[in-house]
């Protein structure tokens, strides 16, 4: 492609080192779509005529079919997807093919292709997040009554509805969708026409290209346009955040599926056995997801580090943006899909959640609140219940087992109604503040999400 200035062939080692066709082939459909729009601009500028434009379109569509049917032979010697397609087009249709690259550089071409790719994949990820939210919601409504201990420091804290715990993930994923939609605005800007770095002397109708490719905006600085990759960094961050959320869910699932917790049972289809221990049922999907999250964060770091020292404008370093991007997108899509499938058919083991929530200490805070409502300052109430807890552990008797006169040895504020506090159902019902897990609140939240998901549009 640059034979004019060079006397000797590129070394085979350099070809192997510099090629990107082994992975950027997957941009082919976007590359072709972009070239068809560029041909329209060339025709509009009078560089090619209508017949030539049609020949280009026809040739490119044929190439697309050949790639999709596996007939196309990608050549490492042609470095990347852009040159592979351009060469094949010229071999197919001759002169018009050789005119296609007028007023275009691979620098703005690749910027366009990657934006088109990120646009399509943002939608795919967004919609998979929605599917996972729906799966979590379906699990939440299966056992609306199930109560579990809520934990801090992985120590039992206070009772919550299991559905409230699941809805926490629905909230996190909602913010992830918001991040995707927000980043989408910055991806959705048309860079073609920026040339290598300084546009072109040929007057291209960039608005026409943007219109053909359905871009609402056009890049306003040619130098920025060919070297900007922050839209990819943002997407990689969002994907990492989704991964981190899935990784936290993974950790919960792993704990819940253990004999020690036993709150859920995963289906056979989403677990694996052990080649040695016949009794094992392992939550590999969750472990893999927790593991792959490191890779997602790594991919973000890879790109940021690649960009950080680059002088203006395009530098070949930028070719290194693609593998981390492709990898993160492939992995997060799979993770979201498999999680949606797994969570939708998981079963809650209510006998185990019930056993765990029969721990009376879960209501220690409620007892302190009880004293507060009787006029005891909270700090004093906290100390009184702390002493009562120590007493309970020493005596091996639970809160409900103490007589009123025993309670009154700790504080005379205790009265006959103290036993009413010691009921999980009452305790949950009392948690009525916005965002707290009273059954009334949670069921309102469930209805809200159901309505929202029924009407939410795919991106
Ligand atoms: N394969 C290259 C990339 O992915 C395309 C742009 C090459 N531009 C250049 N001036 N060598 O970044």
Domain with CATH 1.10.275.10 in the chain: 12-102
- Verify whether ligand 1 is closer than 6 Å to residue 318 (CB atom): yes
Provide the pLDDT confidence category of residue 47 given band limits of 50, 70 and 90.
very high
Q: Which of 11, 22, 274, 358 is catalytic?
A: 274
pLDDT of residue 458: 80
Record: fold of 12-102: Fumarase C; Chain B, domain 1 (1.10.275)
What is the distance between the alpha carbons of residues 395 and 402, in angstroms, rounded to a whole number? Answer: 10
What 8-state DSSP symbol labels residue 171? H
Domain with CATH 1.10.40.30 in the chain: 359-454
- Verify whether ligand 1 is closer than 6 Å to residue 80 (CB atom): yes
Domain with CATH 1.20.200.10 in the chain: 107-355
pLDDT of residue 144: 87
Q: Is the pLDDT of residue 369 over 90?
A: yes
Provide the pLDDT confidence category of residue 276 given band limits of 50, 70 and 90.
confident
User: Burial code of 177-204, b = ≥16 C-beta within 10 A, e = fewer?
Assistant: bebbeebbeebbbbbbbbbbbebbeeeb
Q: Is the pLDDT of residue 3 over 80?
A: no
What 8-state DSSP symbol labels residue 218? E
What does the pLDDT average to over 60-65?
A: 98
Provide the pLDDT confidence category of residue 233 given band limits of 50, 70 and 90.
very high
Beta strands in 325-418 (DSSP E): 347-348
pLDDT of residue 457: 80
Record: fold of 107-355: Fumarase C; Chain A, domain 2 (1.20.200)
What does the pLDDT average to over 115-128?
A: 98
Q: Is the pLDDT of residue 278 over 90?
A: no
Active site residue 38: no
Q: Which of 69, 153, 267, 275 is catalytic?
A: 153
371-412 confidence digits (pLDDT tens):
999 999 999 999 999 999 999 999 999 999 999 999 999 999
What share of the chain in percent tops pLDDT 70? 100
Give me ligand 1 centre to Cα 48, in Å.
25
Number of C-beta neighbours around residue 277 at 10 A? 8
pLDDT of residue 111: 98
Active site residue 247: no
Give me ligand 1 centre to Cα 79, in Å.
9
Its CATH class, for the domain covering 359-454, is: mainly alpha
pTM for the structure as a whole: 0.95
What is the distance between the alpha carbons of residues 179 and 173, in angstroms, rounded to a whole number? Answer: 10
C-alpha of 92 from chain center: 41
pLDDT of residue 355: 94
What does the pLDDT average to over 2-10?
A: 84
163-212 confidence digits (pLDDT tens):
999 999 999 999 999 999 999 999 999 999 999 999 999 999 999 999 99
What does the pLDDT average to over 340-353?
A: 96
What is the distance between the alpha carbons of residues 119 and 399, in angstroms, rounded to a whole number? Answer: 58
């Amino acid at each position: 492609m640059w034979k004019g200035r060079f006397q000797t062939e590129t070394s085979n080692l350099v070809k192997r080192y510099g090629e990107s066709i082994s992975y950027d082939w997957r941009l082919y459909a976007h590359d072709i779509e972009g070239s068809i729009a560029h041909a329209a601009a060339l025709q509009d500028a009078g560089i090619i005529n209508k017949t030539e434009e049609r020949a280009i379109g026809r040739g490119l569509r044929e190439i697309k079919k050949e790639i999709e049917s596996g007939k196309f032979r990608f050549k490492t010697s042609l470095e990347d997807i852009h040159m592979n397609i351009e060469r094949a087009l010229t071999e197919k249709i001759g002169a018009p093919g050789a005119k296609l690259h007028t007023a275009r550089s691979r620098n703005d071409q690749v910027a366009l292709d990657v934006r088109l790719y990120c646009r399509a994949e943002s939608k795919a990820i967004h919609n998979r997040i929605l599917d996972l939210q729906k799966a979590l919601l379906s699990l939440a409504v299966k056992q609306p009554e199930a109560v579990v201990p809520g934990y801090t420091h992985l120590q039992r804290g206070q009772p919550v509805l299991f559905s409230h715990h699941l809805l926490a993930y629905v909230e996190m994923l909602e913010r992830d969708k918001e991040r995707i939609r927000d980043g989408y605005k910055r991806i959705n800007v048309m860079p073609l026409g920026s040339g290598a770095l300084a546009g072109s002397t040929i007057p291209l109708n960039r608005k026409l290209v943007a219109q053909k490719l359905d871009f609402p905006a056009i890049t306003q600085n040619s130098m920025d346009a060919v070297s900007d990759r922050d839209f990819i960094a943002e997407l990689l961050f969002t994907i990492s955040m989704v991964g981190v959320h899935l990784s936290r869910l993974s950790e919960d699932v792993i704990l819940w599926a253990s004999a020690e917790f036993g709150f859920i049972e995963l289906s056979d289809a989403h677990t694996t056995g052990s080649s040695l221990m016949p009794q094992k049922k392992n939550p590999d999907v969750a472990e893999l997801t927790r593991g792959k999250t490191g890779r997602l964060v790594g991919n973000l770091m890879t790109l940021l580090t690649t960009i950080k020292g680059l002088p203006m404008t395009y530098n070949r370093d930028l070719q290194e943006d693609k593998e981390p991007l492709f990898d993160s997108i492939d992995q997060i899509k799979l993770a979201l899909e498999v999680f949606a499938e797994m969570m939708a058919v998981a079963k809650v083991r209510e006998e185990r959640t019930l056993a765990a929530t029969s721990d009376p200490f879960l209501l220690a805070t409620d007892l302190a609140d009880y004293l507060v409502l009787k006029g005891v300052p909270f700090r004093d109430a906290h100390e009184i219940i702390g002493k009562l807890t120590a007493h309970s552990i020493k005596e091996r008797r639970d809160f409900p087992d103490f007589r009123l006169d025993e309670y009154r040895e700790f504080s005379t504020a205790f009265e006959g109604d103290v036993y009413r506090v010691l009921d999980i159902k009452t305790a949950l019902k009392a948690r009525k503040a916005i965002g707290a897990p009273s059954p009334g609140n949670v069921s309102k939240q469930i209805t809200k999400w159901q309505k929202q998901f029924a009407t939410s549009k795919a991106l």
